[in-house]
Amino acid sequence: MKLAELQSFIRDARAPLRITGHGSKDFYGEALQGEPLSTQSLHGVTAYEPSELFVSALAGTPLAEVEALLAQHRQRLAFEPPRFGGRGTVGGMVAAGLSGPSRAALGSVRDHLLGAVLVNGKGELLSFGGTVMKNVAGFDVSRALAGSLGQLGLITEVTLKVLPLPAATATLRFEFDQAAALMALNRWGGEPLPIEASAWWDGALLLRLAGAEAAVGAAARKLGGDLIPAEMATPFWTGLRDQSDEFFVGAERAVAGGARLWRLSLPSTTPELKLHGEQLIEWGGAQRWVVTPLPPAAVREAAASAGGHATLFRALDKGCGVFAPLSPPLAAIHKRLKASFDPHGVFNPGRLYPEL
């Protein structure tokens, strides 16, 4: 359907609609409900100015297509959104709000979102933001769409900040247990080092350095560790970004057997969490993946006691709720936003929270 047809379809909707692209993130969030409303007809890059560091694309455009265009000009989406087998779309990327290994150093999807166009629950076309960071007209509204899981409207087009590829990169490997890795990450985080990404799992800590060649070389010499050849390092970081590496493959098998995969957001200084199961740590200690059969209350309590929260990322049974419960003031804000953009409750009912 063309945009005008989509607007008319939404205005005439008599039942809830489930916004979908290629379905790569159907597993994420609460249970899917409603009649499918595809974004695949909204396809193509609508504007790209390499010298101005922005790109605009329609929501159904495959993420791989946008990144291939950026690569021709040695540019990238610096927040490294997961592509889930190459099926991810631009609209789904923003709606899910997921970022990859470089998020702690370079920012999240929300930080790179300059503007957006969406159709609200009344079928009206709304435009927010612009093409530069200093244009703040409607800026916060467009950023509110990141991670909204389609609850506020049908995203039809987004404008994103892009960054140049780094001149040099290097990956270092260290043999550390979890406690030692966290201590090292927090120590290095206070130093002027070009650390772009980190990952600890199964006794090994990997760091990705990125920036000017001289800076990367000096940091590598200072930090030590084992230098991993690029032909081995690149597939590792790609697998981590797309959640296709060994940890996530094992996590999917464990989930099929009844375990749960949790995504914990914590202060980076949080010491080792003594939770039963496999753990993978990213973002300098701020993001921790945990595969465990522990009761949901135990995982959430551990995260909350450390000043963070836990999201149920993958599970066969999501009856405990996917996202951390909202405080009454935050719940009220969510409900007001939903009512403002989608007064008839047309879009993705219950996908973020059952009551929305």
Digit-coded pLDDT (tens) for 274-291: 999 999 999 999 999 999
d(CA 139, CA 61): 22
Which of 100, 44, 146, 124 is CA-nearest to residue 241? 100
- Position of tokens 């084992």? 226
Phi, psi of 8 (to 5 degrees): -65, -40
> So what's the pLDDT on residue 130?
72
> CA Rg, the chain, in Å?
21
d(CA 156, CA 39): 8
> What DSSP element (H or E) covers 249?
helix 246-256
- C-beta of residue 290 within 8 angstroms of C-beta of residue 331: no
Q: 3-state DSSP call for residue 334?
A: helix
Which regions of the chain are under pLDDT 70? 131-139
| 187-217 per-position pLDDT tens digit | 999 999 999 999 999 999 999 999 999 999 9
Lookup: tokens for 325 = 């419960």
d(CA 111, CA 133): 9
- C-beta of residue 334 within 8 angstroms of C-beta of residue 326: yes
> So what's the pLDDT on residue 132?
57
> So what's the pLDDT on residue 56?
98
- C-beta of residue 282 within 8 angstroms of C-beta of residue 271: no
Number of residues written out for the chain = 356
Side-chain-side CA neighbours of residue 293 (13 Å):
5
d(CA 311, CA 179): 23
Which of 248, 160, 182, 174 is CA-nearest to residue 207? 174
d(CA 58, CA 119): 13
d(CA 76, CA 81): 11
- Position of tokens 């090292």? 184
Cβ atoms within 10 Å of 320's Cβ, excluding its own: 13
Secondary structure (H, E, C), 54-76: EEEEECCCEHHHHHHHHHCCCEE
Residues 6+ positions from 3 with CB-CB distance below 8 Å: 42, 119, 125, 156
d(CA 225, CA 263): 28
> So what's the pLDDT on residue 14?
85
Which of 191, 122, 133 is CA-nearest to residue 159? 133
Contacts 24+ apart (CB under 8 A), 213-216: 213/167, 213/168, 215/168, 216/166, 216/168, 216/169, 216/170
